[in-house]
Amino acid sequence: MIFLDNNATTQPTVRVVEAMLPYLTDCYYNASASTAAFTGADRPRHEAASAMARLLNAEEPNCFTFTSGATESNNWVFKSVAGGRKIGRVLVSSIEHASVSEPAAELARAGFEVVEVPVDAQGVVRLDALRDALREDTVLVSIMAANNETGVLEPVEEIGRLIHDLCPTALFHTDATQAIGKIPVDLQGEWQNVDLLSFSAHKFHGPKGIGGLYIRPGLELEPLLLGGGQEGGLRAGTSNTPALAGLAVAALSREFHDESIRNLRDNLEIKLLEVIPGILIHSRDSERLPNTSYFSLPGTNAEELVDKLACAGFIVATGAACSSGSLKASQTLIAMDVSHELASSAIRVSISKQTTSNEIKSFLEKLFSLVLPSNPSLLSSGCSTVTAP
């Protein structure tokens, strides 16, 4: 099996698994027990917080509250706003993950004014529209750092500066699930105006079921879960010590920002354009995650193609894993003014540091053999990037 769907999840490294094993066997103790300091059960939580602070250059390890992952963290942000802030305006981009867009819709039903900030044809948030949407009564702005489908990078620094200058009382939340481990993140540098940041360990070669929320020092959120003093009283429940141990090791890896990943992706796209002139590569003219390629094959049913590739041993995606199984066109591409036909023929390939050039070569050979005989029109020259419908 050749796995090319690393924006959906990544394989934990051997070191991550080895770090988890002791807390599943000999050191299985409860990290909340009074004896935790003696058993060592509290160590993974401290190590995970320190590792995340180092990875993101956060002010201190205490900035991090651990959750089951970014979906929970995103929901927590919106529930906290609903419970702890006066009703006002909430801004989200038009390409957010469902774990942001659906809680935002809940706020709208509760009386908040929720406004979608549009993106341009490349999928980048329009700063002019954001500027116009910011008002004195804005309480929250939530814009993802990197899109899970196109891989496009949003201008977090510029967005944060705009919010800080025009509406300093508003909270700025970013879902950085796809960004962490793939691009540098500096919470005391370019991202210094970010108040809240969500992440999941399984997106950067850590275990599933663990992630967290960065909370800027001095900012108070409504507790997510009650019934215990864990996570500073913000999220009750026994700590997932094995997963925390794995997260700590994954976060300390310094192999993420590898130019070889970008080169592998770029070579993939060069070959695609060379053999299939009719292909459309989305967001190619914007800054993207180095591992992501999202392209449309006009006249091709993406769902059927993904299934055929899977049967042949190649795992790719039509878009967001959380919405797979649906025949709906990519809402991200629709928001970018891509036609429904093109959005329905889009395939996402996302590689990792474990992907090899031979795997990419094998994938391309299989893709060409499946697509070209049944759709010879793709051999005719067409535009190679999507800039307008």
User: What is the rounded CA–CA span in Å between residue 142 and residue 117?
Assistant: 10
Q: Are strands 138-142 and 196-200 parallel, antiparallel or unpaired?
A: unpaired
Yes or no: say if 168 and 136 are a contact pair by the CB < 8 Å rule: no
Collapse the DSSP code of 203 into the 3-class scheme (helix H, G, I; strand E, B; otherwise coil) and give the result: helix
Cα 44 to its chain centre, rounded Å, is 24
Backbone angles phi, psi at 347, to 5 degrees: -120, 135
Catalytic residue, candidates 27, 311, 322, 383:
322
Residue 139: which of 171, 104, 161 has the closest Cα?
171
User: What is the rounded CA–CA span in Å between residue 87 and residue 321?
Assistant: 33
Cα 339 to its chain centre, rounded Å, is 24
Burial of 248 (0-12, 13-18, 19+ CB in 10 A): buried
Phi-psi sector, 313: left (phi>0), alpha (psi -120 to 50), beta: left
Yes or no: say if 172 and 195 are a contact pair by the CB < 8 Å rule: yes
User: What is the rounded CA–CA span in Å between residue 17 and residue 245?
Assistant: 9
Q: Is 27 a catalytic residue?
A: no
Yes or no: say if 204 and 174 are a contact pair by the CB < 8 Å rule: no
Sign of CA dihedral 300, 151, 153, 274: negative
Lookup: tokens for 153: 């990078």
What is the full DSSP assignment across 88-141? -EEEEETT--HHHHHHHHHHHHTT-EEEEEPB-TTS-B-HHHHHHH--TTEEEE
Yes or no: say if 272 and 281 are a contact pair by the CB < 8 Å rule: yes
User: In degrees to the nearest 10, what's the CA dihedral of 273, 276, 277, 279?
Assistant: -80
Lookup: tokens for 327: 């025949």
Yes or no: say if 195 and 164 are a contact pair by the CB < 8 Å rule: no
Sign of CA dihedral 354, 1, 294, 272: positive
Positions marked catalytic = 322
